[in-house]
Structure 1
Amino acid sequence: MANTSWLIVMLLSITCRESMHCNGFTVDPPVDVVISDVGQLGRLQISWSPPASQVNVTECSQLYQLEYFDTYIDSWSAIRTAKMNYTAQFDLMKDVRVRVYTLLRGPCTNGILIKSSSYTELVQNPPSTGVGTPVQDFVCVYHNMKYVECNWGRSPKLSANSQQHLYFWHRELDQTEECPKYLKASGTRFGCNFTENSLPEFTDINFCVNGSSPEGPLKPAFISLQIQNQVKPGTTEKLHLRKVPEAQLELRWDNPAGKVPAHCLEWEVEHNQEGPDGKIALQQILTDQKSLTLPSIHDTQINCFRVRSKLSKYCANKGFWSGWSPATCQPEKREKAPKPEQSRDIVHVYVFIAFAIIAILVLSLCVGAVLKMRSLRDVKKPDALLANVFARNSVLTVMDA
């Protein structure tokens, strides 16, 4: 019973410490809340003014509690500050919602922190201007921590004359910049390559994809991300596979080339086991090591392995799997011998090809012989004509004599 009474007293004390009614003192919420877009593609500035009732209160320190709805995590975030402005990141494609309270503490409140029971709220709707639909499937990949490439999907409803643009901003830039090198297919932009423009890690990078069309400006899409969460490691080039005692297989591999820290990688091993009956069993194994030992390997089985990697949760919030390595098998996989029916079919094909070649050769020889005979006849005809001429000349000569 004593414990229960003590708990009630504690709760009342906590309630009183942030109440407007303790000691008969009241606190009003701030006024003139404004949300300003300073052209940083989603980074907005929130400002407010103190309530008129607290302007002349000088013996107490005045704080403010700002709450804003973070659409990236679907929950409210709160900060307390003595300033009358704050900058936060928002998704401009969704409603921007903020609330501001007033807090007082000092001699005027007997040292108790008092919070206004009400707040001033401001909701800003996303812009409804633009034609068509915003780009879909926008994704950026930090390839092996060397360069960033962003791609997006183009709506099939967009006219052929529509042109899309990508703009980006981060804290190291004074103002937004346009994509340094667009990726194109048949003259249509579908992505951006940042090979020559390095993007900073562990900071928000804001993107906007908008555009123009014969019907008017396209609806913009806004995206914010950090590139250390977009890493796709390089592909592992070679696996090392060998038999070890007790009918086991030992699989080892090296880190992919590149800048990705080795301790940040986790691996997925795909084990493909084929029995003498041709049946295949597939197993996928997750590990943070660069080796794997499998027991009870039979000589009648063909075991093939390949691996891929991605950043672990201890180094990044998310990431992309690398490509699969080339497969390595034990014993080495050989081409299967053709079945008897397939062998007979292959023999028939070879016989048909042989007959076809022979027929073509015979036909070529026959055509050549015919052409040769004709050429010989053409040669003999002039000889016969000359003989007749000489015969006639001889007869005329005799008659004249």
Structure 2
Amino acid sequence: MYISRHATTEFRLCCHTMLAPLFLLLYLTGHTLARKAPDVVCVVINLKYVQCSWDGPAEGNCSFSSRFFENKNFRECCTYVSKNNTRTGCDQTYDGLATKRFNTFYTKLVCSNNSFEHPHELKKKVKLNPPFNLTVLNGSDGNLWFYWNHSALTCGASEVRYRINNYKWETSSPRDGKNSHCINLPSSSSLYELQVRTTMWSDCGGSDFWSDWSKPVFWGSMRENNSTEVNHGVMSVWTSVYSAIGAAIFILLVGLLVYHERLRIIPIPIVPKPGPKFDNILKHHNVEDWLRISKPLNQGFKANFNDLACSVREYKQVVLSESENSDGSTSECLSTSCSSASSILLVPSKEEEDSV
């Protein structure tokens, strides 16, 4: 196929026309990627100054400036933070940060003639200094008291941790506005180590950051010989476990004895004193009716015959004279009448016995 020189020239011009915008787009994209903004992170330190840090480029240093929302002009950084002779941060001092932190904070970073601006919300970006003036005392109530001070006088929330004889840390729940902590009934033969840290109270806006732990304070003593060292915390736990096991075994043994009738528990109520009322009951009521005895059995105890009553009296001897016995014979008389009041036995006199 024959292609004219004119057609070839037009084709070249067309290719150049299409490739020129493509090269321009690639150049602008590469330039934009080279100007990628570094990440800037800002934190309010102890309500005194704002500390901002960034990942600086490998070559050259960046200049930093900042302002709050109510200010129109940026203020140059006063104190730079450097690493390997390269600026990586800035400490910017402001007055009234306790209230200014609720406003938007703007930063401007200029690197290699490229300027980058970032807005920041500092409300929850507050990090306080560690507490200071730590004191630990054994109170008059026998408890261990731990005191401290911190920079946020009215807006601080504290968290305490302590350990006994270098064992595991025990941490208390955060307490708002409290500068003291109590440990009940400590052991004087154990070593107590205590630390505290603070953050902003939720009523003051709160914070996502805790301060660093304070320097530790110590109370008590620990035996140097590890073979004789006693972990009172572990002993107290085992004492509770042994007590619970002993109580369970005792209850089990009592249950077995009751089940096998080796032991019976019979509750006996207190018997009240009958007093004068009981006498009235016996006098005016028939107690036999309360026994619920059947009528035939009750009638069997009653007599079904009548007999004359015969009273018994002692007897005496009566001597009969001759005038009383006219026929001259001796006789004896014994009265056995039940109606008589006494029994009479008649015997002969002594003279009659001699004549006989």
Shorter-chain TM-score bucket reads: 0.3 to 0.5
Structure with the largest fraction of strand: 1
